[in-house]
Structure 1
Amino acid sequence: MVNPKPRSERQKVKKFLQYVSARILVGILSIFPYVLRGKILFSIIRFLAKTTGATKKRIERHIRTAFPKISESEIQEYIFHNLRNLSHMANEFCEEPRMNKKFIDKWVTFLPDKETHTRLFEKGGILVLGHLGNWETMGVSICYTAPKNDLYVFAKRQSNPWSNAWIEKNRASQRIKLVYTDESPRKALTLLKQGKLVAFISDQDAGKTGSFFPFLGNMASTFLGPATFSRMTDVPILFCSSWYDETGKLYFHVEEFERPDLDPRKDPELWEREFTYKWVKRLEEEVYKHPGDYFWLHRRWHTKPENKEELEKFWEGFKSSSERSKV
């Protein structure tokens, strides 16, 4: 009798086959022109959403969680727009190694204007953003609007090592480098002190070790990374967001983000709490403006707080330093 392969070996083979399948699919899709490929991908995603149901159900469940009072027609509209966004994201991943200035000028609109993007990004600093619009294309556009600077993205390694290497290579084709969460924090601090750009896409579920903040009416476990690095450095902080129009054009907004009006040396924990509260609220504002563009597939509220009522009571009475100064 032949001994079965150990579980770890079977998992390794499975991940490799998943990687190979994805490479073949992307290779075939990359043959088609950008606009046609987008239409093909949207048709595929809509078909899968109808036949499997899992993707659509998760999107719908999360939209209902965030917007419990909207009508059924609005929910279906958001779902439709969200599925189209997924096709845009897949299309742009296929296109990423070939993206150039001509592509960015055609498919990205810079807000408030391109000159502001160049001025802010050339200074370096911390970029704070969430899963709104398309963060990959935002990254590529930064490399073209501020070619004199380098962009690093704080990211978690993929569980599939082959896929991780592929994504890393794809991003590197546009001068986007990765700083992994399992690396020493000193690396990111050194980059910031050198005037580089370090981006944090920090609205993933942070698990049991995260801190809970109100987001779209629900308690969300949140990473404090952007707050910690902002407290430890004196570099500029930029808030970024993006959304699509009906033609697939991406609107990319950037603004300077104000630090809390507090001394971080006196109470570092309070400073980080205020900073995180402010950027989570700022992201929330953008999601309310562009609800169909948020990445509803990810499990933002997966981790449930054990003291939900206590947290809700605390945040109901919470006022940031800027809010207190207005009183």
Structure 2
Amino acid sequence: MLYRTLMCLSACLSALPHAFVLFLGRILGNLYYLLIKKQRNRAIAQMMSALQISQDEAEHLVRLSFINLAQNMLEIMCLPKLNKDNFQNYVEMVHLERLRDALAEGHGVVVLTGHIGTWEWLSASLALADIPVTAIAKPQPNEQYTRALNDLRATVGVEIFSRGTSELLAAGRALKAGKILGFLADQDAGPGGAFIDFLGKTASTPMGPAVFSRKFSAPVVPIFIIRQKNGRHKLEVHEPMRYVDTGNADEDLYRFTKEMTQLLERVIRENPTQWIWFQKRWNTPPDARKEKHHVVKTDTK
């Protein structure tokens, strides 16, 4: 029932003018900010701590981030409206040649991004630009919602592998086949992550991008999509990042993960209304760290 409801909602939203969808997002975002006290207060507190700003400033920016998130969610439902002929009406792609050149090396490409802007439109835009896109994503708690989301992604040619399952083997095969493999690397990684300073506080950080880059000799290309004031999106491809092998895999993986985390942090600081501030990014304390062969230390900064 939920699946059919979501797909029906997607069809209705996709038929509406994009400006009206954004207008609905502004209404829903403001309502969400006013009604969902727990997430609002967590977002404000975390933003105040991370950006060292006043409560008034944080309240203003968090409200805008809630509006942006609501617009993102509605735009995700509108994925079926995107096609090869119209997607560039909504998304400006900058330095796409950097990604194409990295793919031409023949080892696949690990794409580094986060829950910044309308991240689902990032992968959709790449797929519609004829770049073979796969991504690792965390399954949603509700199976029908996960199914609907994956079916919406499939309408634009994006293939999803579930995090923490045997599908990771298929993700590796995708890299070997010369495709891109995307990671949303800004979530809490639990006791097995690398504990690195992130926005002023130590956070358990996913090591997947570094691990896959090392294993498959694949360059890491950071890509972010940022909503512009006119409602369109700017998708910017950064210069490739490289795993450096010094012979100490633990230290090398940690250092590379830290380098990528610092870039993510910089993008968030530059675009504070584009990130999800209420997520439990710092949920795992450093003393819960689980020793693994590729996790060797905690950032003490």
Question: Structure 1-normalised TM-score?
Answer: 0.80
* 1:282 maps onto 2:300 in alignment: no
The answer to whether the 8 A contact 1:151-1:176 is kept is yes
The residue that corresponds to 1:301 in the other structure is 282
Q: Spell out structure 1 runs of 4+ moving beyond 3 A.
A: 19-31, 113-124, 313-317
Shift of 1:187: 2.0
**2:212 equivalent among 225, 229, 232:** 229
Using the alignment, how far apart are the partners of 1:102 and 1:61 within structure 2? 43
Structure 1 Cα separation of the partners of residues 196 and 77 of structure 2: 35
Aligned residue identity for 2:30: R
In structure 2, runs of 5+ residues without a counterpart are 290-296
Q: Distance in 2 between matches of 1:65 and 1:291?
A: 13
Q: Show CA shifts across 1:86-144 (max 9, x none).
A: 13212211210110234321221222x34445444566411111112121011011112
SS at match of 1:101: coil
2:27 aligns with 43
Tell me what 1:242 maps to: 225
Residue equivalent to 2:172:
189
- What are the equivalent positions in structure 2 for 1:136-147 lying under 5 Å apart? 136-145=120-129, 147=130
Give the Cα–Cα distance (whole angstroms) in 2 for the partners of residues 42 and 228 of structure 1.
39
Q: What secondary structure, in the 3-state scheme, does the structure 2 residue paired with 1:127 have?
A: strand
Shift of 1:186: 2.9
**Pairing 1:59-138 to 2, within 5 Å after superposition:** 59-67=43-51, 69-111=52-94, 113-120=95-102, 124-138=108-122
- 1:160-186 deviations in whole A, cap 9, x for unaligned? 111111111110111100112212543
- Kindly provide the CA deviation profile for residues 258-290 of structure 1, in whole angstroms up to 9, marking residues without a partner as x: 324433xx2111111011010001111111111
2:156 to 174, 198, 202: 174
How far is the alpha carbon of 1:20 from its aligned partner? Answer: 5.7
Unaligned runs of 5+ in 1: 1-15, 318-327
CA–CA distance in structure 2, aligned partners of residues 27 and 205 of structure 1 = 33
RMSD: 2.5
* Offset from partner CA, 1:281-303 (integer Å, 9 cap, x none): 11111111111111213211111
What percentage of aligned pairs have identical amino acids?
Answer: 25
Secondary structure, counterpart of 1:198 in structure 2: strand
Q: SS of 1:137's equivalent?
A: helix
CA distance in 2, matches of 1:195, 1:28: 36
> C-alpha distance in 2, partners of 1:122/1:166?
33
Contact kept in structure 1, 2:219 and 2:242, CA below 8 Å: no
Report the AA paired with residue 133 of structure 1. G
How far 1:46 moved relative to its partner?
0.8
AA aligned to 1:46 is N
Change (3 A) 1:136 1:76: same
TM-score, reference length from structure 2 = 0.87
Residues 1:50 and 1:121: Cα distance change in structure 2 (over 3 Å): farther
**Mapped partners of 1:179, 1:267: distance in 2:** 29
Higher relative contact order (CA closer than 8 Å, sequence separation 6+) = 2
For 1:163, give the aligned amino acid.
Y
Question: Is 1:153 paired with 2:135?
Answer: yes
How many pairs does the alignment contain?
A: 291
Q: Secondary structure at the match of 2:299?
A: helix
